[in-house]
Structure 1
Amino acid sequence: MDANRTAAGDETAARTLLVKVFGKDRPGITSGLFRMLAEFGVEVIDIEQVVTRGRIVLCALVTPPPSDRLLTREGELRAGVHRWADEQHLQAEIISGTGDNRPRAEGRSHVTVLGHPLTATAVSALTARITEAGGNIDRVFRLAKYPVTAVELAVSGVPTEELRSALAAEAAAQGVDVAVVRSGLVRRAKRLVVMDVDSTLIQDEVIELFAAHAGCEAKVAEVTAAAMRGELDFAESLRARVALLAGLDASVTDKVRGEVRLTPGARTLIRTLKRLGYQVAVVSGGFTQVTDHLQERLGLDFAAANTLEVVDGKFTGRVVGEIVDRAGKARMLRRFAAEAGVPLEQTVAIGDGANDLDMLNAAGMGVAFNAKPVVRQAADTAVNVPFLDTVLYLLGVTREEVEEAGVAVESTTTPAPLAAG
């Protein structure tokens, strides 16, 4: 084994060369550079390549050429790189140093930033907070450019919880969404996603759709809003609202199903998750008269909700069976996870109201989707753009991967009725 190879294994002493080329991108640049480097018998330690708006930056960290005439061979390599770059109309830079990239510090996190739009001011403010917290940005990668701009930062040097706290207030001030999750295999291990229905999976409150047919929509909406803010006990408010439906013909259920509008991105989210092997569930303080239909039409694995009692073809103004309230939603999450054979730490819960809090806290990752302030403050992360498929970016799934998987990406501008497909 020659001296250079021995030294290359010692990160503190080995000499290395950083070869950097940049310019207009086109096919063959990467293969051409390494074909030239191969002539000198160097070993590759690291490669990084980025293409932005048709401009390439390609970096190769390599060992010096193995030779008794090290400086001569290194000089020949440098001349060869510059000559090749000139021929390709590229610029080149070669920097001599020692060792590999420095190891990432402890306390590693993925920071996902969603902006609509994402401004330079927001990026400046957030990255400054990372530095102030003692973190270092090791890598930046774009996840999506439409319908939101989503970028992911790999950060080390600060515990995840501390970093999340440091960025939360700044994100709110800048009008962007920031999710901070611990790095590691656990992030890739999420295998069950459980969603709230009203104002999460769909744009409507189902009780209000029924109430509109009963002529009491305003009164029901007032009680619903208070319950979602956490000002009323959910079970009590549910009974009060359902009582207003007494005597309504149950045949309006078909009309209500036709009025339900999916949240933009809902179909894309579900189809992508299913393509990736996830199981998907809904749990709702609404009614099985609608959630059973959602389960069938969207191909969901599990569904749970309250059931409106029907006698002689009319709603009685009561619910039957176990009430799915705040505690009930968390209980259903655990039940679904057990039936799916998925540990709780591998689950994701998404919701918007106070009655979702126990579920969000029980899941491995709790996502507050366009949520009330009390929910945003308690959840692991918050999404405040009106596109449900942005949750995919929190899982590290890129927009390009969604499209490459053959998932039909739906329109984000037109409300999607459930009956549409």
Structure 2
Amino acid sequence: MTPDAPTLLVKIFGRDKPGLTAGLFHELAAFGVDVIDIEQVVTRGRITLCALVTTPPRSGGATEGELRATLHAWAEASGLQAEIISGTGDNPSRGAGRSHVTVLGNPLTAETTAAIAGRIAATGGNIDRIYRLAKYPVTAVEFDVSGVAPERLRTELATEAAARAVDVAVVASGLQRRAPRLVVMDVDSTLIQDEVIELFAGHAGCEAEVAKITDAAMRGELDFTESLHARVALLAGLDASVVDAVRSQVRLTPGARTLIRTLKRLGCQVGVVSGGFTQVTDALREHLGLDFAAANTLEVVDGRLTGRVTGEIVDRAGKARLLRRFAEEAGVPLSRTVAIGDGANDLDMLNAAGLGVAFNAKPLVARAAHTAVTVPFLDAVLYLLGITREEVEAADAQAPS
């Protein structure tokens, strides 16, 4: 088709019912036109169907006027409205720099949507398509945007998201989006709702003291390794049987099972890195079917905790190093890795990953990560990867019981 070839944009809208799409194209077929583009959406039972087609060929004998009259008559008989617009050529090419912008709101207000769309336009971006990913437990919508570099768009929308108290993620478009990924999570206050060392401390009677040190470390006010040694020292003398008690106290974050199960079905690999302890992460790895797990190890001598850890410390730098190691072992480039965490000791890992997600994180971490999720459901991360709630539910329904 030449850019100046005449074309018709046919738009029908009204109450949806089976057979409308087939009916429209049956009417068009009688005029010998070619289909250039189609777009259809159904919202609350109302259909909007657009078809970009060539004009009737001269050799066919039918005229554009006859086509218009036929389509209007068919639409009226079907209880629909029709609009037919003359023009030339195909749709204009999308601009360079293409992104998926995911917005999570609970609720998602019209004011917020206007602000996000306005900021996209202000950067020179164009919204080519919008669709809903989920309606429960949060509203998640995705904008396909072109015309602006993803990095610039991410910076601009981060400011708007913070001002509007919503979560916004910007991911570059491309084939890699649906390619298998490696997803690596922090454990304490991310995969699980608890701080494991505080569970141990509860059995040692020093929970308040340990919690105070933990909070300072997560805010970045205290060196992690120093804080780890200080907290573990308070556990000296505990009977090793307390490990089983702590494992039984661990509570998964809502949505954790769904997140991991869905990722595994998509062929992704999933791991955890923790400043906590292998005595818990090894059990989580087995229970959840994780591919990778790394953490510190509490030293046990003669059936009691010594108040020391053994082996290489998993600290802030160690988490990033482990992410790279896991990616190499998984055969996944860093650009296709996702890291999820909440504390300052996760920052290096979040920044090293292709997508770093701050999950209900401290303000310092939320500002530094690629994106933040502030709803208390870990499976909301799926929406940032373009996976819809309907896809998750359909996969669950088809799974063997």
Is contact 1:268–1:408 with CA below 8 Å preserved after alignment?
no
2-side partners of 1:342 and 1:164: how far apart? 24
Q: Does 1:312 align with 2:279?
A: no
| 1:184-223 → structure 2 map (5 Å cutoff) | 184-223=174-213
1:288 paired residue among 272, 278, 293: 278
Helix, strand or coil: the match of 1:405? helix
2:240 paired residue among 245, 250, 265: 250
Q: Does 1:396 align with 2:383?
A: no
1-side partners of 2:397 and 2:158: how far apart? 32
| 1:35-74 → structure 2 map (5 Å cutoff) | 35-68=26-59, 72-74=62-64
2-side partners of 1:408 and 1:193: how far apart? 24
Q: Which amino acid aligns with 2:21?
A: T
Give the aligned partner of residue 419 of structure 1.
none
Give the aligned partner of residue 119 of structure 2.
129
Q: Does 1:342 align with 2:332?
A: yes
Is contact 1:21–1:85 with CA below 8 Å preserved after alignment?
yes
Q: Does 1:14 align with 2:22?
A: no
Q: Does 1:110 align with 2:111?
A: no
Is contact 1:190–1:348 with CA below 8 Å preserved after alignment?
no
Q: Which amino acid aligns with 1:46?
A: D
1:179 paired residue among 162, 165, 169: 169
Q: CA RMSD in A?
A: 1.3
Helix, strand or coil: the match of 1:118? coil
1:141 paired residue among 110, 116, 131: 131
1-side partners of 2:119 and 2:317: how far apart? 36
Q: 1:187 to 1:32 in 2, by over 3 A?
A: same
1:378 CA drift (Å):
1.5
Mean CA deviation greater in 72-81 or 301-310: 72-81
- Which digits, 9 at most, give the CA deviation of each residue in 1:208-244, with x for residues without a partner? 0000010000000000000001111111100000000
- Which digits, 9 at most, give the CA deviation of each residue in 1:236-288, with x for residues without a partner? 10000000000011111111111111111100000000010001000000000
Give the aligned partner of residue 363 of structure 1.
353
2:24 paired residue among 33, 48, 54: 33
- Which digits, 9 at most, give the CA deviation of each residue in 1:42-86, with x for residues without a partner? 10000000100000000000001112477x521111111111111
TM-score normalised to structure 2 length: 0.97
Which ranges in structure 1 are unaligned for 5 or more consecutive residues?
Answer: 1-8, 410-421
1:407 CA drift (Å):
6.1
Give the aligned partner of residue 82 of structure 1.
72
2-side partners of 1:191 and 1:227: how far apart? 30
Which ranges in structure 2 are unaligned for 5 or more consecutive residues?
Answer: none
2-side partners of 1:268 and 1:308: how far apart? 30
- Which digits, 9 at most, give the CA deviation of each residue in 1:304-359, with x for residues without a partner? 00000111111000001111001111111111111111111111111111111111
Helix, strand or coil: the match of 2:91? coil
2-side partners of 1:250 and 1:66: how far apart? 84
Q: 1:346 to 1:69 in 2, by over 3 A?
A: closer
Q: 1:137 to 1:163 in 2, by over 3 A?
A: same
Runs of 4+ with deviation above 6 angstroms: none
Q: Does 1:23 align with 2:19?
A: no
1-side partners of 2:67 and 2:9: how far apart? 12
Q: Which amino acid aligns with 2:8?
A: L
2-side partners of 1:299 and 1:278: how far apart? 12
Mean CA deviation greater in 253-262 or 44-53: 253-262
Mean CA deviation greater in 56-65 or 340-349: 340-349
Give the aligned partner of residue 301 of structure 1.
291
1:189 CA drift (Å):
2.7
2-side partners of 1:162 and 1:338: how far apart? 29
Q: Does 1:261 align with 2:236?
A: no
Identity rate, percent: 76
Helix, strand or coil: the match of 1:406? helix
Helix, strand or coil: the match of 2:213? helix
2-side partners of 1:84 and 1:38: how far apart? 13
